Amino acid sequence: MYKYDQYDQAMVDARVEEFRDQCRRRMEGHLTEDQFKPLRLMNGLYLQLHAYMLRVAVPYGTLNGQQMDALADIADKYDRGYGHFTTRQNIQYNWIKLEDAGDILADLAKVEMHAIQTSGNCIRNISADHFAGAAADELVDPRPYAELMRQWSSFHPEFTYLPRKFKICVIGADKDRAAMKLHDIGIQIVKNDEGELGAQFYVGGGMGRTPMIAPMIREFVPLDQLITYAEACLRVYNRYGRRDNKYKARIKILVHELGKEEYTRQVEEEFQHMLDQGIEPPFAELERIRPYFADPAFETGLSDDIDRSDPDFALWVDTNTHAHKAPGYVSAVISLKPVGGIPGDATAEQMHLMADLAREYSFDECRVMHTQNIVLPHVKKADLYALWQKLEAAGLGTANLDQIGDIIACPGLDYCSLANARSIPVAQKIAQRFEEKGQSNTLGELKLKISGCINACGHHHAGHIGILGVDKKGKENYQLLLGGSEGEDTSLAKITGPGFDEDGIVDAVEKATEVYLNEKQEGERFLDTYRRVGMAPFKEALYG
Amino acid sequence: MAELISENPAEALASGDVQFRFRDDELVSDPAVTVDAFVGQSNAVAVRIEPGDDARELLPHLDRIALVEVNFPAYTDGRGYSAARILREAGYAGELRAVGDVLIDQLSHMKRCGFDAFAPDAPLNEDDAKAAFDRWPHVYQSAADDRTPIWNLRHER
Ligand code: HEM
Ligand code: SF4
């Protein structure tokens, strides 16, 4: 894992001081609320329906035990004993007092954490594959590149007042587990024919009210030009991205309006110019960062056998573990989606437990997934049973990864001031319905995602089944979408037809799964069946 | 870069006066003309860039410019930061003045992008501004100023 040196620490400490100073000037009346708002946002502080919300950055989703403990302590000390892991691999607290914010940032800085640029129209925290450095199918660990970009994007003087927020994601495997093409910039680290590593750039993806899949604009950027190329992408956006209409301000609209070719031409021109400007970090910096992400000391000669005599355990192993590159190891997913729970929430005690388990079983490392679960990346197969028993005892052993109960849901009307409808109760009802039917396993991989409004924080466009909360004459109403995917086969979901009320949407989801079970052919997932048979049979069942 | 010079105590400043300057040459007081007017007219020495203007239009004329004002009608519009860097990257060495909605918390970034004079609509508290200019002990990335990025400090020997 990356460790701060004196410079990183000095920068984070300076930020805490800056924020304390901004709070002071706000309280003394030197800053108006309008002037203060973007400053607090750039430190992750939103004003929500009931209180301030604080979003803490988890760079590329990676945490050690001490950091997870610190997150738990913040939940206990400054919030109501829990926190919410988000689809951008961060954590949010929902009940924060403004006057505590400076102290929280100081507590975070002690464990090399911060809330810098977790909001605002700047480059946000950079996300990455949650199985980075562990997955059997990975080419390289994307996190050294994400860390280099973290440094480059922190307090970037030119790109702090962009037209709109800017999200970057880096992956290092062909299988995309991070919705890379749904980011403003998605980067895949690839190898060229000469065997050299480079960065493949996808620009202009996003969700929100105009979902778009990012087109590839450069097949191969040499690693010693990575930062310069990113800088060129951003400068063209900063200069020409729309600022007249907030809803058209994301880079996806610029790329769409200019066309991919013209945008690319402008970037390449800026890039050629910038190559002479000395922007690129010394290559030695990447070489300094890389060893921090080197493999931990895996034991060798381990057995791959798992004792499956306990059927509940066997089920959990089948759903919640992921193939590891080292023999005898797996990545184990801790589900934060117990039936009836709030997707992504964890209590302080659960966080402390996860920290302990990371230390005991996973080389002191855990990851936040964009599906709002936690991964222990490097667990010995021989330890799995003991690990699972401890998870079970703490209500963290739900076996539902990527199944219908593993729902992504945004905060919705329970917390969010922009919401049209509640997301959390719908998620709870759907999970309960399928739990009662005992169907979760029969349905297999089925990604269900719920957003409480068109902003799409819950990724509904990318759900095999998506649900979008809308306002219908002052009543909460839910539209059903089918056929989205965020993986290597990224696609955007389509609306089935008229919306449903809260109970109606639960029934509608059930009907859609019945169509699948009737139509499915050998080996097909819900998504495969939908892609083969199309929308018609689903429409028939829903509205016929 | 020259030391910070506060032109006048904040109380004595009118809206739009230069309050802070990192140059020791004479303040340019010629009125700034628009980019269009400047490009079409040979005798002006001061020009004002609005957010929608392309700073690169000025590049053929840099040798006759003594002052570029970059206007920030709203501090949330960050196009002026790119305009400033583009001018400095092209070798412009004259005064680069941030005007308009220039506030404390943008000063250090503006300075990094090459601004060396600041004329806020509303004069700023001098102590707060000085603290803001000195805020960052280090910088991560290279920009239009002469500060050495952290990643160069790390590998210097
Ligand atoms: C409760 C406070 C929140 C507010 C006010 C809020 C606001 C917004 C807005 C306005 C957008 C649309 C931006 C655009 O399209 O330009 C958006 C998108 C998004 N938000 Fe949120 N959000 C909140 C919470 C969350 C949470 C909790 C998560 C993660 C679980 C999240 C993740 C995202 C993602 C992934 C997108 C869409 C992807 C994209 O196009 O960037 N947001 N949010
Ligand atoms: S999707 Fe809408 S309701 Fe849900 S968190 Fe985002 S802004 Fe709020």
In this prediction, residue A86 carries a pLDDT of 87
**For residue A208, what pLDDT is reported?**
86
Whether A244 contacts chain B with CB within 8 A: no
Helix A251-258, helix A226-240: angle, nearest 10: 80
Coil, strand or helix at B93: coil
Q: CATH number, domain at B22?
A: 3.40.50
Residue B7: pLDDT above 70? Answer: no
Give the model confidence (pLDDT) of A326-371 as tens digits. 999 999 999 999 998 899 999 999 999 999 999 999 999 999 998 8
From-to residues of CATH 3.30.70.3340 in chain A: 311-393
Q: Could you confirm whether domain A6-110 is CATH 2.60.40?
A: no
- Residues on chain A touching B136 (C-beta within 8 angstroms): 11, 14, 155
Split at pLDDT 50, 70, 90, the class of B58 is very high
User: Where exactly does CATH 3.30.413.10 map onto chain A?
Assistant: 134-289, 408-543
- If we measure between CA atoms, which residue out of A262, A269, A271, A259 comes closest to residue A230? A271
- B1 pLDDT higher than 50: no
Pocket mutation for ligand 1, best pick of A250, A455, A490 (most atoms within 8 Å of C-beta): A455
- Whether A225 lines ligand 2, by a CB cut-off of 6 Å, is no
Which of the four pLDDT bands, split at 50, 70 and 90, describes residue B15? confident
Q: Tens digits of per-residue pLDDT, A207-253?
A: 888 899 999 999 999 999 999 999 999 999 999 999 999 999 999 99
pLDDT score, position B8: 67
* pLDDT at residue A88, rounded to an integer: 81
C-alpha torsion angle, residues A235, A239, A244, A249 (rounded to 10): -20
- Please list every protein residue whose CB sits less than 6 Å from any atom of ligand 1: A 46, 48, 86-88, 92, 164, 167, 206-208, 250, 410-411, 415-416, 418, 455-457
CATH number of the structural domain A311-393: 3.30.70.3340
User: How far apart are the CA of A31 and the nearest CA of chain B, in angstroms?
Assistant: 9
Do A121 and B76 make contact, defined as CB atoms within 8 angstroms? Answer: yes
Per the CB < 8 A criterion, the answer to whether A402 and A447 are in contact is: yes
pLDDT of A439 reads 84
Which CATH number is A408-543 given? 3.30.413.10
pLDDT of residue B156: 83
CB atoms closer than 10 angstroms to residue A127: 28
Interchain proximity A281–B112, CB inside 8 Å: no
Contact A94/A79 with Cβ under 8 angstroms? yes
Per CATH, domain A134-289 is 3.30.413.10: yes
Q: Is the CB of A410 under 6 A from ligand 2?
A: yes
Closest ligand 2 atom to A417 CA: 8
Q: Is the CB of A208 under 6 A from ligand 2?
A: no
- Nearest ligand to the C-alpha of residue A371? 1
In chain A, which stretches have pLDDT less than 50?
none
- Each as own residue / partner, the long-range contacts of residues A457-461 (CB below 8 Å, 24 or more positions apart, any chain) are A457/A87, A457/A410, A457/A411, A457/A416, A458/A87, A458/A408, A458/A409, A458/A410, A458/A412, A458/A423, A459/A87, A459/A179, A459/A182, A459/A207, A459/A408, A459/A486, A460/A484, A460/A493, A461/A182, A461/A207, A461/A211, A461/A492, A461/A493
State the smallest CA–CA distance between residue B98 and chain A in angstroms.
Answer: 14
Domain range enclosing B64: 5-153
pLDDT at B2: 54
For A102, A112, A280, the CA distances from A5, given in Å and listed in that order, are 22, 10, 20
Which amino acid is it at A91? Answer: I
**Can you tell me the ipTM of this complex?**
0.95
The percent helix, strand, coil of chain B (3-state, each to 5) is 35, 20, 50
Report yes or no on whether pTM surpasses 0.80.
yes
Count: domains in chain B: 1
Whether residues B141 and A152 touch (CB distance < 8 A) is answered with: yes
Find residue A346's DSSP bridge partners.
Answer: A83
